[in-house]
Structure 1
Amino acid sequence: MLAENRAVLLSGPDVGPLEQEYVLAALRSGWIAPAGPDLDLFEREIADRTGVPHAVAVTSGTAALHLALLGVGAGPGDVVVVPTLTFVATANAVVYTGATPVFADCDPATGNLDPGLLDELLGELSAEGTPVRAVLTVDLYGSCADYERILPICERYGVPVVEDAAESLGATRGSRAAGSFGRAAALSFNGNKIMTTSGGGMLLTRDGDLAVRARYLAGQARLPVEHYEHSEIGYNYRLSNVLAALGRAQLLRLDEMIEKRRRVRDVYAKVFAHVDGVTLPGGDDPAANCWLTAVVADPGRTGWHVRDLAAHLAAGGVETRPIFKPMHLQPVFAGARTALSGAAEHLFRNGLVLPSGSALTDSEVQRVHDAIAEFVEDHR
């Protein structure tokens, strides 16, 4: 296998001269603290991009989820339905409110929440009289969940949707943008996301009162008086003006970065096109932002396991990662209530996430391609 000195990363940050220009301008402006014109503009520009009227910039996608759940009233004694196939932050935000996560399985073809299982679960919880405060959806790896089915189900049971769009900024479903489907939504600008502010996130909502409440809680719940006055617990969640400036520059390049990731997905789709037993979850979604591309291999048909492919790539300095370990298998959530089909466990045990970042050079993409082609040929 051809090896190079530099490791090929899964999804490294993609920043350059434009980002440097915006951050330097923010520093020179004197607006260093968590307030300033770039912060206001960043919120407005993200709101415009997603078609949602209210946006609140915060320190992380997790903070945005926490505030969104508080905004729909989640608290002790409540249940929130959460996809089991997700990053732990989705479930952690539920616990922050005092509510209890109940985990539901995924569609095996996409990894997103299974609408049929959701319908059954909400029916069971309703019949028991269990208060369901929200359904948390996750747009896994940049492909929007099946909102055409999920939203009517939730509406029938009178349960609001909170959209974890941490991975899907720039994706669409139908005529709507990711982040626009729920009563509230959360974006993430972590260092490995589709665009980054180093760390950061955004709460989106059409509910003006929810946005006002979130902004207030994110600023330590300080009351509008001359001295520091607080009548309830708040949080130190506001994004800084300097990081917002970085986000504004990234947003200008978002479409370009998405297009690069889509080209990387196409490379993987072609190299595996004639390999029996290999699929790309959500790979037929043309509106996905392709934040990360995963492959799932059935070892009974391929003759090899994804762990074998991961080891082969690692030997050449190529980073990979298993698909998320389901929440119901995590020790911290042992004993949680679940509605399972086995789909999430299958994806975890047989799935592998490949380098997908827009910062990948053409030679790095070719290097990964050649390593995969070599592996496939050796195991034909």
Structure 2
Amino acid sequence: MKQQKIWLSPPHMGGHELKYIQEAFDTNWISQSGFNIEEFERSLENYLGENSFVTALSSGTAAIHLALKLLNVEEGDFVICQSFTFVASANPILYLKAVPVFIDSETSTWNLCPNALEDSIKFCLKQGKKPKAIIAVSSYGMPFMVDEILEISRKYEIPVIEDSAEALGSEYKGRHCGTFGDLSVISFNGNKIITTSGGGVLVSRNQKDKDRTLFLATQAKENKNYYSHSEIGYNYRLGNISAGIGRGQMEVLEERIKQRRENHDFYQRIMADVDGISLFSALNEDFYSNYWLNAITIDPDKLSKEKLRKTFLENNVEIRYLWKPMHLQPLYKDCSFFGSGISGMLFDNGLCLPSGSNMTNDCKDRITEILSIFKN
């Protein structure tokens, strides 16, 4: 009999989500407005802290798109973007017919390399155009090098869109991810640390930008007694039922962070005797990761990545490659790239391991047994 599948990062309900969904049905708010949306936004604003103005949207991708719109990105503008990320970080640049400029990773956080970032800005300036935005990602929940990136942002007066799609609950120097950018993005896709089934938020720093975000996300309807539109808007608002799921999930957020971090501790223990595998971990105490996904790199001289991957799959355990960098994707093959190729090496030698907050002891025992095959 085939063993039950261990998923990479499945949804994990807390138990109170149905209460808020039922509330939406009982009050007949089955739409893109309602009390659940307001309360979900308020709970996130309280969690993130001062100067966090949250607008709930249909996806993190929509949030990035609207962030670019708020920064007046237009056709032909340069937008700098981390290469080592999911394609959703970059695609909204193309929505606006702007020009992506991709930046390599550094080895500590796997995120934006400050040196390559500055090189790219100087390149853009030589072309006669200052970049309109920098998209900085906290991959797998690990905060990027916040101080260094924000210093460059201030030096050249280029706003930062903080892509914390995977980093809710992560912190840098005691401050929440999602609060560092001029605009910040969080995702609640089904595989994230908490979910609304599909959804995301754009975090602004002031009420004016929040109001503008909501305007654009609801078809840019003007405040008149009839339907009047002077600019393009979008159908990007999160639904009240989905927001009800989010309200229930917010109640267990701290528990989910704890469970994900315990998974990381588990992998540290069982990999201690496996030669050739390095577990991606925080550089120092400044970086507090939610460890949304546990990622490893493999020394090809000591271990076969494909053999490890196939062994997991044969045992019905989901395991995935790390992100294939954007500058190596066919869609973006003609875009400029700055760096030494670290992100490409991560893709060549890395894998993501099961990291769900609902991973049982039986699941951990199976994973331990699989990895024991590769012990010294």
Matched, 1:295 2:296: yes
Once residues 16 and 169 of structure 1 are traced to their aligned partners in structure 2, the CA distance between those partners, rounded to angstroms, is 17
Deviation by residue 1:1-42 (Cα, 9 ceiling, x = unmatched): xx8631000000001421222222222222111001110111
**362-371 or 322-331, which deviates more:** 362-371
Deviation by residue 1:213-241 (Cα, 9 ceiling, x = unmatched): 11100000001112111111100000011
Once residues 39 and 193 of structure 1 are traced to their aligned partners in structure 2, the CA distance between those partners, rounded to angstroms, is 19
Once residues 150 and 15 of structure 2 are traced to their aligned partners in structure 1, the CA distance between those partners, rounded to angstroms, is 42
Once residues 201 and 292 of structure 1 are traced to their aligned partners in structure 2, the CA distance between those partners, rounded to angstroms, is 18
Maintained 8 Å contact 1:187/1:201: yes
User: Residue 236 of structure 1: SS of its match in structure 2?
Assistant: coil
Paired AA for residue 337 in structure 1: S
Who is 1:376 aligned against? 374
Structure 2 CA distance for partners of 1:276 and 1:6, relative to 1, 3 Å: closer
Deviation by residue 1:22-63 (Cα, 9 ceiling, x = unmatched): 222222222111001110111111111112431100000000
Maintained 8 Å contact 1:305/1:350: no
| CA apart distance, 1:246 | 0.6
Who is 2:46 aligned against? 48
Maintained 8 Å contact 2:114/2:149: yes
Once residues 129 and 334 of structure 2 are traced to their aligned partners in structure 1, the CA distance between those partners, rounded to angstroms, is 17
Once residues 287 and 296 of structure 1 are traced to their aligned partners in structure 2, the CA distance between those partners, rounded to angstroms, is 20
Who is 2:22 aligned against? 24
- Runs of at least 4 residues of structure 1 off by over 6 A? none
Matched, 1:353 2:337: no
* TM-score, structure 2 normalization: 0.96
Maintained 8 Å contact 1:46/1:55: yes
| CA apart distance, 1:274 | 3.4
For 1:121-140, what aligned pairs fall within 5 Å after superposition?
A: 121-140=120-139
User: Residue 163 of structure 1: SS of its match in structure 2?
Assistant: strand
Structure 2 CA distance for partners of 1:146 and 1:180, relative to 1, 3 Å: same
Who is 1:367 aligned against? 366
For 1:143-292, what aligned pairs fall within 5 Å after superposition?
A: 143-284=142-283, 287-292=288-293
Deviation by residue 1:283-326 (Cα, 9 ceiling, x = unmatched): 456610110000001111x2x22221110011110000000001
Once residues 283 and 19 of structure 2 are traced to their aligned partners in structure 1, the CA distance between those partners, rounded to angstroms, is 37
Once residues 27 and 174 of structure 1 are traced to their aligned partners in structure 2, the CA distance between those partners, rounded to angstroms, is 42
Maintained 8 Å contact 1:183/1:207: no
Maintained 8 Å contact 1:267/1:369: no
Once residues 327 and 192 of structure 2 are traced to their aligned partners in structure 1, the CA distance between those partners, rounded to angstroms, is 25
User: Residue 198 of structure 2: SS of its match in structure 1?
Assistant: coil
Once residues 121 and 255 of structure 2 are traced to their aligned partners in structure 1, the CA distance between those partners, rounded to angstroms, is 40
Matched, 1:71 2:70: yes
Paired AA for residue 30 in structure 1: N
Specify every segment of 5 or more residues in structure 1 that has no aligned partner in the other structure, as ranges. none
| CA apart distance, 1:253 | 0.3
Who is 1:36 aligned against? 34
Once residues 24 and 291 of structure 2 are traced to their aligned partners in structure 1, the CA distance between those partners, rounded to angstroms, is 30
| CA apart distance, 1:197 | 0.3
Once residues 175 and 326 of structure 1 are traced to their aligned partners in structure 2, the CA distance between those partners, rounded to angstroms, is 29
Once residues 42 and 17 of structure 1 are traced to their aligned partners in structure 2, the CA distance between those partners, rounded to angstroms, is 16
Maintained 8 Å contact 1:111/1:282: no
Q: How many aligned positions are there?
A: 373
Once residues 11 and 342 of structure 1 are traced to their aligned partners in structure 2, the CA distance between those partners, rounded to angstroms, is 28
Specify every segment of 5 or more residues in structure 2 that has no aligned partner in the other structure, as ranges. none
- Percent identical across equivalent pairs? 39
Deviation by residue 1:143-193 (Cα, 9 ceiling, x = unmatched): 111111100111101100000110000111013111001110111000000
Once residues 316 and 178 of structure 1 are traced to their aligned partners in structure 2, the CA distance between those partners, rounded to angstroms, is 36
Once residues 39 and 108 of structure 1 are traced to their aligned partners in structure 2, the CA distance between those partners, rounded to angstroms, is 39
Paired AA for residue 291 in structure 1: W
| CA apart distance, 1:130 | 2.2
Once residues 173 and 334 of structure 2 are traced to their aligned partners in structure 1, the CA distance between those partners, rounded to angstroms, is 38
Who is 2:10 aligned against? 12
